Structure 1
Amino acid sequence: MPEWLNIIVRSIVSLLYLFLLTRWVGKRQISQLSFFEYVVGITVGSIAGVIATDIDGPLIYGLIALTIYGLFPVLTGWLALKSKTLRNIFYGNSTVLIKNGKIMEDNLKKARMTAEDLIAQLRLKNAFKAADVEFAAMEPNGSVSVLLKSKNQPLTPKHFGLAVAPVTEPQTVIIDGEIMDEPLATIGLNRQWLKAELEKIGVALENVFLGQVDENGQLYVDLYDDKIQVPTPQTLQLTCATLKKCQADLELYALGTQNQEGKQLYTEAAEQLRRVIEQVTPLLTR
């Protein structure tokens, strides 16, 4: 076999084997790699390069070496699950950088971080002043977790005692002008419904770059032609306004009738509808 063809074959074999090995070991982002996984990744890449170019060495030897290095993260991960001591050795511990609003200078030195490094990491967490931070720690993967002081944390509905409805994942039903049948079926809809919704807003299917349906069944579309203004769905707002109008009508009927029995009936119905509106308003106005 010619050398150039041998190199091509060995490269393809090493690449495919490396791909299968990586899929088997598992998926992690670069920032989530432990020290051992980082070292193994570099070494495995070097071995794969040697396998492809060292035409004198047996191919099987290189594949064996790849397998051993690939199994190492799996073994350390399994041992870490069994023992906290080994988990600390393999993956390390978190290092507290700020505690009770005070910067831990000794821990900064242990983490080999300067004040500038700390400030840069805080900025990435939208904390532009160290005085705003209650607690910060460097995680074993090198990222920095930040807890702002209570007075600097953003307000949420919980702070006001407001009840909000849970949010579910929107389903992407149109991509590049093509209807995605599986997401439609997931939310119990079909092509006929989708085409009817597109007709309501006056948009052709082939002009839709992306279409999504939220948990309320409202369709949002982004068009290829950015000059076309797509009306914002108003179904929930109209439903809320209609309910309030019905309540107001019932109250007017109660004021306008001279029949005491009818007045009481309208008043009770208006009160019941008012309670219903209070319950569904978080669902209709989010």
Structure 2
Amino acid sequence: MPNWVEIIIRSVTLLLVLFVLSKGLGKKSLAQMTAFESMVMIVIGGIVALNTVNPATPIVYGLTALAVWFMIPYIAVFIAMKSKRFRNVTQGKGTVLIQNGKIMEDNLKKERVSTDDLLSKLRNNQIFTAADVEFAVIEPNGDVNVLPQKQHQPVTPSILGINVSPVKEPQTVIMDGKVLLEPLANASLNPNWLETELEKMNVSIENVFLGQVDSDGQLTVDLFDDQLSVPSPTEKPLLLATMKKCQADLEMFALETENEQSKTLYQTNSERLQQAISKLKPYVNE
């Protein structure tokens, strides 16, 4: 067999093996790997390269070496899940860079982080003044997580005392002009409902690049033709408007009737509906 043919066969074989092994090592990107994991990946890459371009070495040797170097991190991860001390050795642990608004210079030197590096990582967290930081820690993979001081944290609805509706994961029900039945079922909907909603928008499924349903059952679509526009969902505004109309009708009935019992009934239900509108308004008027 010519050497070039053998190199092609070795390359394809080792590539497939390496792909399978990398799936077994998890979904971490290179930037998220610890020093130990990066070292293992470098060695595995070297094994693949050497066994690819050296036909004199039996490929079984390369496969054996790959199996050994795959088992090393696999076993290390298993042990690390059971032992924090072992995990600290192989994966490292976080180091505090800023505490109570004070930069820990000794820890910066320990982690080989310069002042410029620290400021750059703070800017990545949308913080431009070190004095605004309450706490910052560098993780084993090099990421810096920051807790801003209370007065510099973003305002949330809970701080303002505002009730907001819970939000679930949107379901992608149309992709590249094709209906995805599983996400549609996850949203407790069916193709007939989808066709009806698209008819309201005067849009056909074939023209939809992406269609998503939110937790409120509202469908939003993006079309292949960027020049065309589609109306925004109106379910929640229509619901609020209908409730307000019903409440106004009850008030009108209470004013028009001369029967005291009916007047009291209309007024009571009008007040109850107004209370319901007040409670639902944050959820439907977003």
TM range (shorter): over 0.9
Instruction: Check if 1:95 corresponds to 2:91.
Output: no
Q: Secondary structure at the match of 2:141?
A: coil
Once the 2 structures are TM-superposed, how far is the Cα of residue 121 of structure 1 from its aligned partner? 0.4
Give deviations 1:11-52, integer Å, cap 9, x for gaps: 111111111111222221223211111000111011111111
Alignment match, 1:117: 117
Instruction: Check if 1:12 corresponds to 2:12.
Output: yes
Alignment match, 2:137: 137
Alignment match, 2:256: 256
Once the 2 structures are TM-superposed, how far is the Cα of residue 5 of structure 1 from its aligned partner? 1.0
**Aligned residue type for 2:20:** L
Distance 1:72 1:261 in 2: 82
Q: Secondary structure at the match of 2:228?
A: coil
Alignment match, 1:217: 217
RMSD over aligned CA atoms reads 1.4
Alignment match, 1:170: 170
**Aligned residue type for 2:57:** G
Q: Secondary structure at the match of 2:96?
A: strand
Once the 2 structures are TM-superposed, how far is the Cα of residue 178 of structure 1 from its aligned partner? 1.3
Structure 2 length normalisation: TM-score? Answer: 0.96
**Aligned residue type for 1:40:** V
Alignment match, 2:71: 71
Gaps of 5+ in 1: none
Q: Judge conservation of contact 1:25–1:71 (CA < 8 Å) in 2.
A: no
Alignment match, 1:266: 266
Report 1:23-38 matches (<5 A). Answer: 23-38=23-38
Q: Secondary structure at the match of 1:174?
A: strand
Alignment match, 1:160: 160
Q: Secondary structure at the match of 1:215?
A: coil
Once the 2 structures are TM-superposed, how far is the Cα of residue 248 of structure 1 from its aligned partner? 2.2
**Aligned residue type for 1:138:** I
Once the 2 structures are TM-superposed, how far is the Cα of residue 256 of structure 1 from its aligned partner? 3.3
**Aligned residue type for 1:93:** K
**Aligned residue type for 1:162:** I
Distance 2:285 2:144 in 1: 36
Distance 2:162 2:259 in 1: 39
Alignment match, 2:246: 246
Distance 2:221 2:61 in 1: 55
Q: Judge conservation of contact 1:94–1:139 (CA < 8 Å) in 2.
A: yes
Once the 2 structures are TM-superposed, how far is the Cα of residue 102 of structure 1 from its aligned partner? 1.1
**Aligned residue type for 2:109:** K
Count of aligned residue pairs for this structure pair: 286
Once the 2 structures are TM-superposed, how far is the Cα of residue 162 of structure 1 from its aligned partner? 2.2
Give deviations 1:80-100, integer Å, cap 9, x for gaps: 122211111111111111111
Alignment match, 1:51: 51
**Aligned residue type for 1:3:** N
Distance 1:129 1:252 in 2: 59
Distance 1:92 1:33 in 2: 11
Gaps of 5+ in 2: none
Structure 1 length normalisation: TM-score? Answer: 0.96
Distance 2:113 2:132 in 1: 19
Runs of 4+ in 1 over 6 A off after TM superposition: none
Q: Percent identity?
A: 49
